[in-house]
Amino acid sequence: MKKIFEDIRKDFPILSRTIYNKPLVYFDNAATTQKPKIVIDTIAEFYSNYNANIHRGVHYLSDYSTQATEKAREVIKNFINASSVKEVILTKGTTESINLVAFSFGEAFINEGDEIIVSKMEHHSNFVPWQLLCQRKKAVLKVLNFNSIGELNIDELYKLITVKTKIIAVTHVSNALGTINPIEKIIEIAHSRNVPVLIDGAQAIQHIKVDVQKLNCDFYVFSGHKIYGPTGTGVLYGKKDLLEKMPPYQGGGEMISKVTVEKTTFNVLPYKFEAGTPNYIDTIALAEAIKYIEKIGIDNIYNYETELLNYATERLKEFPEIKIIGQAPKKSAVISFSVDNVHPSDIGILIDKMGIALRTGTHCAEPIMQEFNIPGTVRVSFAFYNTFKEIDLFIEALKKVLLMLKK
């Protein structure tokens, strides 16, 4: 198993570069993943040989690009097991997907006094759009809290849901704590009260097999760049009957059926939600990223990354001054930690000089930091191209950094 994953590194050109003359150790995968050669090559190949704006073009290149884009949509649909391509909206990322739902679902279904539930461990992009919606509609935002090890207080959900609850938006995996949330249970509870659920899959889709039909979620969103695809790509999966009832998010080309001076009628799904020239070449490359990881096998990825997570967690125990923030038993390959009397960014800056890329700060999840009463954390996050040897290098580097900072 380990051998397969070490060989995989050669598929990622950036992993063989050095930083300050040290081999790059890239532990910032929760922020964005590196790209395999097939993704980079697909982009170059398309711009070199096939580029033309998609839809309604009568010429060869436009037709080729259109078909390739729709094939990419089909790949995404199969990957998440949506029942139809109509339910797969192409966006520029998780943030745009959530904003789309918050606006459009909000227009259709949210009125004054209605309630929306999010959790306290959401990334700002699954928090602020709902806050904005609540301000716009005079609705109420309710927050599901988590316990000291970073698990959602699921029992509280029963009390939070009322007849006024219109939607629950919750993350599948926390980017700052690593917790894998029991979304199946959350969906079951919500549906027993007829409340739809949006799942933020930004930190799950690259680690865990997602089957939207089996989950029975109403919306599932993710970003292409976190699943080894290009930046500026993303997906909104939504159940057809809900999407049909929601008004368009943006107006422009392609989302229309007919435009007259007096009135516009709208295109069918998924195009109703895809105004303007989409990021089609990057979406085609995203489909290549998906095919690439499917070949490795998402379950193999999950198992190997869990080994990395367990090993790194164990090694961090060598530091009595380190506290791991987020110790849920079910975690994805993310470790956030704080160090007594040391500011996280000091660690980040010093360790960078040793070629190690990790992230420090609030990770766009300030309510989590407020709950723990800390300024932020140091976060290492793994991908399947990381190795045990890199974890050893990181531990040695961390020892040196902490010695320097304590002098």
The C-alpha atoms of residue 352 and residue 357 are separated, in whole angstroms, by 6
Q: Is 126 in the site for ligand PMP (CB under 6 A)?
A: yes
| Residue of 19, 350, 357, 364 marked catalytic | 364
**In the complex, least distance from residue 251 CB atom to ligand PMP, rounded to whole angstroms:** 22
**In the complex, least distance from residue 59 CB atom to ligand PMP, rounded to whole angstroms:** 34
Contact characters 63-102, ligand PMP, x per CB under 6 A: ------------------------------xxx-------
Q: Is 179 in the site for ligand PMP (CB under 6 A)?
A: no
User: CA quadruple 96, 100, 101, 103: dihedral positive or negative?
Assistant: positive
Contact characters 338-377, ligand PMP, x per CB under 6 A: --------------------------x-------------
Q: How far is CA 286 from CA 26, 71, 226, in A?
A: 21, 11, 10
Closest CA to 273 of 233, 243, 303: 243
Our CB check for ligand PMP shows the closer of 267 and 372 to be 372
The C-alpha atoms of residue 169 and residue 53 are separated, in whole angstroms, by 35
The C-alpha atoms of residue 322 and residue 105 are separated, in whole angstroms, by 43
Amino acid at 180: I
- CB–CB of 354/103 below 8 Å? no
**In the complex, least distance from residue 265 CB atom to ligand PMP, rounded to whole angstroms:** 31
Total site size for ligand PMP, rule CB under 6 A: 13
Q: Is 202 in the site for ligand PMP (CB under 6 A)?
A: yes
Residue 100 DSSP SS3: helix
Our CB check for ligand PMP shows the closer of 125 and 279 to be 125
Q: Is 33 in the site for ligand PMP (CB under 6 A)?
A: no
What string of DSSP letters covers 298-351?
HHHHHHHHHHHHHHHHHHHTT-TTEEEE---SSB-SEEEEEETTB-HHHHHHHH
For residue 176 the two structure tokens come to: 């700052």
Query: Token match 């040695």: residue?
Result: 396
Our CB check for ligand PMP shows the closer of 196 and 201 to be 201
Stretch that binds ligand PMP, among 42-50, 121-129, 296-304, 312-320 (CB under 6 A): 121-129
Among the listed residues 55, 86, 123, 359, the single contact to ligand PMP using CB under 6 A? 123
Our CB check for ligand PMP shows the closer of 65 and 386 to be 386
Gyration radius (Cα) of the chain, Å: 22
Our CB check for ligand PMP shows the closer of 94 and 377 to be 94
Our CB check for ligand PMP shows the closer of 150 and 355 to be 150
The C-alpha atoms of residue 80 and residue 88 are separated, in whole angstroms, by 10
Residue 364 known to be catalytic: yes
**In the complex, least distance from residue 92 CB atom to ligand PMP, rounded to whole angstroms:** 8
- Map the footprint of ligand PMP across residues 221-260, applying CB under 6 A: 223
Cis check: omega of the bond before 344, within 30 degrees of 0 = no
**In the complex, least distance from residue 50 CB atom to ligand PMP, rounded to whole angstroms:** 26
**In the complex, least distance from residue 349 CB atom to ligand PMP, rounded to whole angstroms:** 21
**In the complex, least distance from residue 223 CB atom to ligand PMP, rounded to whole angstroms:** 3
Strand boundaries in 354-407, DSSP class E: 356-357, 359-361, 377-381
Our CB check for ligand PMP shows the closer of 236 and 293 to be 236
Q: Is 125 in the site for ligand PMP (CB under 6 A)?
A: yes
Under the phi-then-psi rule, with left for phi > 0, alpha for psi from -120 to 50, and beta for the rest, what region is 254? left
What angle, 0 to 180 degrees and rounded to 10, lies between the N-to-C axes of helices 298-316 and 388-406?
30
**In the complex, least distance from residue 232 CB atom to ligand PMP, rounded to whole angstroms:** 9
* Helix-then-strand count for the chain, H and E: 14, 17
Q: Please calculate the CA angle 89-92-93 and round it to the nearest 5 degrees.
A: 90
Our CB check for ligand PMP shows the closer of 36 and 93 to be 93
Q: Is 200 in the site for ligand PMP (CB under 6 A)?
A: yes
Would you tell me which residues interact with ligand PMP (CB under 6 A)?
93-95, 123, 125-126, 171, 175, 200, 202-203, 223, 364
Indicate which residues carry an active-site annotation.
364
